[in-house]
Amino acid sequence: MAKHGINKVILVGNLGKDPNKRVLDSGVTVVNFPLATTESYKDKNGKTTDKTEWHNIVMWRGLAETAFRHLRKGSTVYLEGKLTTRTWEGQDGKKNYKTEVEVDHMVMMQHSRENGVHSDQEDPIFANGIESVCREDNSNLSELSETADLLPLEH
């Protein structure tokens, strides 16, 4: 029996809202946003149906700053990370749970001038139409006790 498991998430989807940025008391930046992934299938009558799933996304430090500067509602991104579940006690004393994708790798698939994202001339990250690849080393996140204070996202 294996002693170690694999916790790996890969998503390609569109932001449902602009990234929400917070700077914790420790000075660490965190952003979160909802990401929609949609798949199409044909039902028993041959009609094409779309099914959308919403994912709660969390990014830290430099990757969070990059996402906040360059992503907007509707942006298409490729994300890699792991599933994490936070727990907190609500004001009513009830224990709450939230599952999130903690991202450590991002590829910005497209940007749009209509969505308020910078143009190629304004921002070198999109120069020559090259996709931006960003990675973040999040190995020390367990020391951040403040993460329990993050408010849950609504979509």
Residue 150 lies in a domain: no
Residue 149 lies in a domain: no
Per-residue model confidence as pLDDT tens for the chain (155 residues): 678 899 999 999 999 999 999 999 999 999 999 999 999 999 999 999 999 999 999 999 999 999 999 999 999 999 999 999 999 999 999 999 999 999 999 999 865 544 454 444 444 444 333 344 555 554 434 333 344 344 444 43
On whether the CB atoms of residues 13 and 35 are closer than 8 A, the answer is yes
Residue 154 lies in a domain: no
Residue 82 lies in a domain: yes
CATH number at residue 117: 2.40.50.140
- Which domain range does residue 33 map to? 9-37+50-144
On whether the CB atoms of residues 36 and 52 are closer than 8 A, the answer is yes
The pLDDT value recorded for residue 52 is 97
Residue 86 lies in a domain: yes
Residue 3 lies in a domain: no
Instruction: Domain count for the chain, please give it.
Output: 1
Residue 85 lies in a domain: yes
Type of residue found at 149: D
Residue 4 lies in a domain: no
- DSSP for residue 152: P
Cα distances from 50 to residues 40, 57, 135, 153, in angstroms, run 4, 22, 31, 23
- DSSP for residue 153: P
